[in-house]
Structure 1
Amino acid sequence: MQTNLADFIRNTPDGDEADAILRNCVHCGFCTATCPTYQLLGDELDGPRGRIYLIKQMVEGAPVTRSTQVHLDRCLTCRNCESTCPSGVQYGRLVEIGRKLTEAKVTRPLNQRLMRRLLASVLPNSAIFTPAMRLGQQVRGLLPKKLRDKVPARQRPLQWPSAKHERKVLMLAGCVQPSMMPNVNIATARVFDALGIETLVAPEAGCCGAIRLHLGYHDEALDDLRANIDAWWPYVEQGVEAIVMNASGCGATVKEYAHLLRHDPDYAEKARRIVELTRDVAEILPEFEAQLVAITRRRAVHTVAFHPPCTLQHGQQIRGKVEQLLGALGLEVRLPADSHLCCGSAGTYSLLQPRLSYALRDQKLERLQAQEPQVIVSANVGCIAHLQSGTSTPVAHWIELVEHMLSV
């Protein structure tokens, strides 16, 4: 695809990147076949190819309208199109450039500006979010259904392992997961403990940066990245084996740190080292399959349906590892039809685009429940919470299931 960048973006980092990505696109349209919003709406501008054309027009100097912003807002950033694209178009990076430009050129309605500012201020800030979630859980039964859907029932926390081990990994606790689903982090630490590995958490680390980044607060998101690198760096220097992610959305973002900070002379090299160390728990535990088989036993659960999050299978390109490991532990793992499609959670998407989000959730749950599972498992806190709100079938993180099977 030929481009002719406008003066305002020519010879800038965003301009150079957008130009390179656009030139890889051959307009074949394969991406539309796997785009959830195109499948729902049938509008070319609500699919990757149409959005690419909108961004192309934007960087070539065409007027940016509220309509353009709406079509970009509707994108889930699931990156399914990247897995489908035969030309390797990095659509996820391109759409973030497009969103950044629209935020600078189009004034949103006041209610949207307030909502987005609220989400960007509260969700990544555990000092605010945690007490708010605790209060919501205490009065959950009194809340309207739409709000109750966003407040998971409070978990009874497991015991964090106390043993010290020579081998150590560092784990990102996350911003919303510790209050919404604390047992995901604790279960991760308990599984590593059973394998003779100690899990450390840097208390100063916070949000991975995804929330503010996808809401258009780019500079604030980069500050989140730098704060995490500063918090993790002493542990890196002490020689931790890996930085473990058990929320695939966070993992997909942290693996972009080197790209996002590539022009920062103070953080570019550190960011590259962080990316080298960052691994989803699904990348690590298969290396211990034989040991896990020896220290686990199948309990009441024997059939599970697995929803692989977009950030795992498309963002991080990790496929098949969870299914293979759970299968080795004696579980029957069933994938739903169209398992490559998004569940509609997509970070704050379920709050900002509820109609599309819940349509995708209901579609996903119908296909998951058709597998007749005892438990639905996934690998990202947002997906788990979103799916939980629409079914009576238990929904959990797959690492919680592994922890439950431990016999040590």
Structure 2
Amino acid sequence: MQTNLAEFIRHTPDGAEADAILRKCVHCGFCTATCPTYQLLGDELDGPRGRIYLIKQMVEGAEVTRSTQTHLDRCLTCRNCETTCPSGVQYGRLVEIGRKITEEKVTRPFGQRLLRRVLASFVPNSALFTPAMRLGQHVRAFLPKKLRDKVPARQRPLEWPVAKHERKMLMLAGCVQPAMMPNVNIATARVLDALGVETIVAAEAGCCGAIRLHLGYNDEALDDIRANIDAWWPYVEQGVEAIVMNASGCGATVKEYAHLLRHDPAYAEKARRIVGLTRDISEILPEFEESLVAVTRRRAVHTVAFHPPCTLQHGQQLRGQVEHVLAALGIEVRLPADSHLCCGSAGTYSLTQPTLSYALRDQKLEKLQAQEPQVIVSANVGCIAHLQSGTSTPVAHWIELVEHMLYA
């Protein structure tokens, strides 16, 4: 795809990146076949190829309209199109550039501006989010269904392991997971403890940056990222083996830190080091497979349906690891026919695009429940909460299942 960048973006990092990405696109349209919003809406402009054309027009100086912004807003950033694309188009990075331009050139309706500002200020701030979630869980039975769907039932916290081990790994606790599903982090630490690894949580580390980044608050997102690097750096210098991620959405973002800070002389090299250490828990446990099999015991759950989050299979390009670990422990893992498609959660998407989000959730649950599982498992807090809101079948993080086989 040939481009002729407009003056406003021609000599900028975003312009150079957009130009390089656009030139890889050969208009083949394979991406439309795996785009969830195109399948729902049937509009070329609500598929990757159409959105790429819109972004091309923007960077070449065409008028940026509210309609353009709407089509980009509807994108889940699931990056399924990247997995499908035979030309290696980095669509996820391109659409973030396109969204940045629309935020600069288009004024949103007041209601949207308010919602997005509240989400960007409230959700990543655990000092605000945690007490609000606790209150919501306390009165959950009395909440309207739409609000109750966003408030998972309160978990009874497991005990954090206290043993010290020579092997140490950092773990990102995250901004919403400790309040919504604290046992995901605790289960991760307990599994690693059983394998002789101590889990460290840096107190000053917070949101990975994804929420503000995807809502268009780029400078604030970069501040979140720098704060995490600062919090982790003393431990990196002390020689931690890895930075463990158990929320695939966070993992996908942290693995982009080097790219996001590539022009920051104070943080570029540190960011590259952080990316090199960052690993999803599904990347770590296969190394301990023999030990894990030896210390686990069969439990009542023997059949699960697995929803691989987009941030795991498309964002991080990690496929098969979760299934392999669970199968090694004697659990039958069933994948639905549409396992490559998004469940509709997509961070704050269920709040900013609820109609599309819930339509995708219901489609996903139909396929998952057709597998007749005892439990549905996934690997991202947002997916788990979103799916659970539409079914009575238990939905859990797969690491919780592993922990149960160790200690129950």
Q: TM-score range by the shorter chain?
A: over 0.9
Distance 2:298 2:35 in 1: 37
Native 8 Å contact 1:297 1:405 kept in 2: yes
Alignment partner, residue 43 of structure 1: 43
Native 8 Å contact 1:295 1:407 kept in 2: no
TM-score for the superposition, normalised by structure 1? 1.00
Alignment partner, residue 289 of structure 1: 289
1:81-230 correspondence to structure 2 within 5 Å: 81-230=81-230
TM-score for the superposition, normalised by structure 2? 1.00
CA deviation after TM superposition for structure 1 residue 211, in Å = 0.1
Could you give the per-residue CA deviations for residues 88-107 of structure 1, whole angstroms, max 9, x where no partner exists?
00000000000000000000
Output the amino acid matched with 1:32.
T
Output the amino acid matched with 2:95.
V
Distance 1:178 1:360 in 2: 26
Ranges in structure 2 where 5+ consecutive residues have no aligned partner: none
Alignment partner, residue 395 of structure 1: 395
Which runs of 4 or more aligned residues in structure 1 lie more than 6 Å from their structure 2 counterparts after TM superposition? none
Could you give the per-residue CA deviations for residues 213-232 of structure 1, whole angstroms, max 9, x where no partner exists?
00000000000000000000
1:310 aligns with 2:310: yes
Could you give the per-residue CA deviations for residues 110-129 of structure 1, whole angstroms, max 9, x where no partner exists?
00000000000000000000
1:16 aligns with 2:16: yes
1:256-405 correspondence to structure 2 within 5 Å: 256-405=256-405
SS class of match (1:25)? coil
Alignment partner, residue 246 of structure 1: 246
Alignment partner, residue 59 of structure 1: 59
Could you give the per-residue CA deviations for residues 194-223 of structure 1, whole angstroms, max 9, x where no partner exists?
000000000000000000000000000000
CA deviation after TM superposition for structure 1 residue 27, in Å = 0.4
Distance 1:70 1:146 in 2: 23
CA deviation after TM superposition for structure 1 residue 26, in Å = 0.2
Distance 1:31 1:204 in 2: 40
Distance 1:15 1:30 in 2: 25
CA deviation after TM superposition for structure 1 residue 407, in Å = 5.0
Alignment partner, residue 75 of structure 1: 75
Distance 1:182 1:298 in 2: 24
SS class of match (1:377)? strand
Output the amino acid matched with 1:143.
L
Distance 2:338 2:306 in 1: 12
Output the amino acid matched with 1:323.
E
Distance 1:244 1:37 in 2: 32
Output the amino acid matched with 2:234.
P
SS class of match (1:198)? strand
Distance 1:145 1:337 in 2: 29
Distance 1:65 1:254 in 2: 32
CA deviation after TM superposition for structure 1 residue 281, in Å = 0.2
Could you give the per-residue CA deviations for residues 239-266 of structure 1, whole angstroms, max 9, x where no partner exists?
0000000000000000000000000000
Output the amino acid matched with 1:28.
C
Could you give the per-residue CA deviations for residues 42-73 of structure 1, whole angstroms, max 9, x where no partner exists?
00000000000000000000000000000000
Distance 1:361 1:296 in 2: 33
CA deviation after TM superposition for structure 1 residue 297, in Å = 1.1
Native 8 Å contact 1:78 1:311 kept in 2: yes
Distance 2:311 2:153 in 1: 25
Could you give the per-residue CA deviations for residues 268-320 of structure 1, whole angstroms, max 9, x where no partner exists?
00000000000000100011111110000110000000000000000000000
SS class of match (2:157)? coil
Distance 1:11 1:21 in 2: 16
The alignment-based identity, stated in percent, is: 88
Distance 2:211 2:366 in 1: 28
Distance 1:407 1:391 in 2: 27
Could you give the per-residue CA deviations for residues 112-155 of structure 1, whole angstroms, max 9, x where no partner exists?
00000000000000000000000000000110000000000000
Output the amino acid matched with 1:162.
V
Distance 1:2 1:348 in 2: 34
SS class of match (1:333)? strand
Output the amino acid matched with 1:232.
W
Distance 2:289 2:378 in 1: 19
Could you give the per-residue CA deviations for residues 346-385 of structure 1, whole angstroms, max 9, x where no partner exists?
0000000000000000000000000000000000000000
SS class of match (1:9)? helix
SS class of match (1:8)? helix
Ranges in structure 1 where 5+ consecutive residues have no aligned partner: none
SS class of match (1:61)? coil
SS class of match (1:57)? helix
CA deviation after TM superposition for structure 1 residue 41, in Å = 0.2
Distance 1:367 1:4 in 2: 44
CA deviation after TM superposition for structure 1 residue 11, in Å = 1.4
